[in-house]
Copies of this chain bind each other. A is one copy, B any other.
């Protein structure tokens, strides 16, 4: 559970009840706000104490030439890093010239609240100044889900009983480049998971303009030549004698309010902040757009802004909420909602861009998009917010031309999607855990298939899906080869587990590639029948030769899948079982994550796992494994899994639930659930693990809920933990809405609307009509003894 002293139980809110020296860095992440286009870290209004404050705009990035210490052909050449755009959230308060800083101020009251229904971050505090005056400060920060370019801060100050001269300095600061002035010798921190500290000026001001109380800035980045407009306006609700003095240069703007506060007379500043970005457009044009956004925001006023925010979130929660009732239910619901809220924030208004590994909550991983989107976020989105799922898949489709170019560059056919990117170009400089993760192609094809199977958007196949399927299948056909054994092999690839790289026949990769090849061929066949014109157009555009789909199916049929007959399990790759087994029990606890303490060669030569790999395949392609194989594989790999990746716990939980390992499933679920709220992986301050946050939903719905979709058919085999009273969630499936309510007494499946649904429950087929429900008695959960691999040390790694 989250640290109670920091976040007391509150179902819909995260409350920081006092300043914590040891936790404020994490709180910058926990209290981050975003709408998928704009993101702001949860730094204090005063701008300090702060660990790494920042504001980010989706897709707005700088480039830099990667200087490989040793060059090789085809290595990624251009680094990409999301820019920390000028931060306008800071407001510094001075009373009797004494500044307010929450770490040193004497507080009579204090609460900072993330409200997950209101979509606001508010802070209410009563500060007693050195002179003994009581100052009530209330602020409300909002990143609008309805108006994607708009943020606002509503800042209220009142001295109930005293008079005092006060000043409020409202800042705008270019944090991206500030280190060049403040600390030019600052060294890069050697953690591969953080962002590169760019040594050059990134943001070059092209517009620097004050219009009365309005600040307008236009920038162009040095290397990527992207443009940014920033607009800030202050609306005062205060006695008329209050003055605002605005100064501005390219990097720093300041609007200083000075007033003589009188007892009980409130002073309010509403600070509207807007950002507009473009790949190439003139910054002056963006600045003009900023002006119009500010005009509209001021016209509508703060109440409308807050109302629209709540309305958007009502829509989100209506589909997304998952309710667990149990002893600790309220606390668990709080944590679940915080995770789902993060996915909402990361994706709600993402349009024409991807979802960074940390959403827009930090600069870590350079703001890059990985496979997280397809494998971790899209299941949740496909089943609850198909609009967003479509947007993200469309964005992938928009990368196809660069993916084709990349495939050609490194001597493959078709398209190879980048392992990590912002603009579509491969930015993964180290190929072994980057470009070698060819499975991204199949992950995307898989996501296309799921979206087509779960949505009612059949047009998507023609619009974008088929092209992705063809080009990814072509890559696999060229990458693999028929060896002497007559089987189709895929060599020198890295699977999901990054602790074993550049291997032959990674089981996950080969299984996913097989699906990719078969599904591409089947989709084309279906198109030829159902939409012959579209099929003909596609064939012409992609110069598809008739024999290609046949070759894909041949390769798929011949695909080699490693299997160890003796153990009855699937080796992670062709040679995995030949490796030395890592001595996890003998590894000092402070040597995790291993990647920060051992040379890659040392890690790679051992049987040790960073994250679910075969286990992930058993979840995604569960119909291709027997129950015995699932048990054998899970037992084997669970004992080797460090969980050094945040992508692991949710998947391990799902499969543990499926094979009846309730206790393990719950432990992994808690691990995912508290990944960031309790800083379980020690780097919450570097941003939200968005994939894990979406994985929480997967663990609930696919794990304990037992939902699966194989071959387009929906099935449910619940695994309600013995310690839970009930689990309630809903799904969208091909235009319908299905509600599921599970208890230990009975289970109810209600089709709210749409066409009749074939639903398999615990292996029995049912046909549900709209507006009807199926209620059946629950199957009692058997306490299952833990697997052999679950000693106390293993459990410790899970927690």
Binding site for B on A (CB under 8 A): 66-76, 79, 188, 190-192, 409-411, 428-436, 481, 483, 489, 491-492, 502, 504, 574-575, 578-580, 595-602, 604-605
Which residue of chain B has the shortest Cβ distance to A594 in the bound complex? B73
A66 proximity list for chain B (CB < 8 A): 69
Q: Rank and list the top 8 A-B pairs by shortest CB-CB distance, nearest first.
A: A69-B429, A74-B599, A492-B605, A410-B599, A70-B430, A71-B192, A66-B69, A491-B605
Q: A411-B602, A431-B601, A492-B605 are in contact. List 13 more A-B contacts (CB 8 A).
A: A66-B69, A70-B430, A70-B433, A72-B430, A73-B597, A74-B602, A410-B599, A410-B602, A432-B432, A491-B578, A491-B580, A492-B604, A502-B604
Q: Which of A66, A69, A504 counts the most chain B CB atoms within 10 A?
A: A69
B601 touches A436 (CB 8 A): yes
Known A-B contacts A491-B580, A598-B411; the reply to A575 vs B504 at CB < 8 A is: yes
* Distance A605 CA – B478 CA, assembled complex (angstroms): 13
Contact of A74 among B71, B491, B598 (CB under 8 A): B598
CB pair B604–A430 under 8 Å, yes or no, is no
Q: How long is the Cα–Cα vector from A430 to B601 in the complex, in angstroms?
A: 11
Task: Knowing A492-B601, A599-B410, A602-B410, say if A580 contacts B73 (CB, 8 Å).
Answer: no
List 22 A-B residue pairs with CB atoms under 8 Å apart, sorted by A's residue number.
A67-B188, A68-B69, A69-B429, A70-B428, A71-B188, A72-B192, A72-B599, A73-B599, A74-B598, A74-B599, A74-B600, A75-B599, A410-B598, A410-B601, A431-B599, A483-B578, A489-B580, A491-B578, A502-B502, A504-B578, A574-B575, A574-B578
Q: Which residues of B contact A409 (CB under 8 A)?
A: 599
A598 contact set on B, CB distance < 8 A: 73-74, 410-411
Cβ A595 vs Cβ B69 within 8 A: no
CB of A539 to closest CB in B, whole Å: 28
Interface of A, secondary structure class, is loop
Q: Are A79 and B74 in contact (CB under 8 A)?
A: no
Complex: chain B residue closest to A79, CB-CB: B69
Q: Which of B68, B410, B492 contacts A430 (CB 8 A)?
A: B68
Q: Are A491 and B410 in contact (CB under 8 A)?
A: no
What is the chain B residue whose CB lies nearest that of A192? B71
The interface residues of chain B lying within 8 Å CB-to-CB of A602 are: 74, 410-411
Q: Shortest beta-carbon distance, A186 to chain B, in Å?
A: 13
Return chain B residues, CB-CB under 8 Å to A579: 491
Q: In the bound complex, how far is the Cα of B551 from the Cα of A19, in angstroms?
A: 58
Residues of B within 8 A of A69 (CB): 66-68, 76, 79, 429-430
The reply to whether B599 and A411 form a contact with Cβ atoms under 8 Å apart is yes
Q: Which residues of B contact A190 (CB under 8 A)?
A: 71
Let me know if A600 and B504 touch, CB within 8 A. Answer: no
Q: How far is the CA of A489 from the CA of B67 in the complex (A)?
A: 36
Query: How long is the Cα–Cα vector from A436 to B605 in the complex, in angstroms?
Result: 11
| Contact in complex: B595, A73 (CB < 8 Å) | yes
Taking each of A409, A435, A491, A492, which has the highest tally of chain B beta carbons within 10 Å of its own beta carbon?
A492
Name which residue of chain B comes closest to A605, CB basis: B492
Contact check: which of B192, B432, B481 meets A580 at CB < 8 Å? B481
Q: Are A431 and B600 in contact (CB-based, < 8 A)?
A: yes
Q: Which of A71, A188, A578, A580 has the largest number of chain B CB atoms within 10 A?
A: A71
* Complex CA distance for A76 and B190, rounded to whole angstroms: 12
B contact residues around A71 at 8 Å (CB): 188, 190-192
How far, in Å, is A125 (CB) from chain B's closest CB? 40
Q: How far is the CA of A410 from the CA of B598 in the complex (A)?
A: 6
Q: How far is it, in angstroms, between the C-alpha of A70 and the C-alpha of B75 when the chains are bound?
A: 12
Residues in B with CB closer than 8 Å to A601 are 410, 431, 435-436, 492, 502
- A603 (CB) vs chain B CBs: closest residue: B73
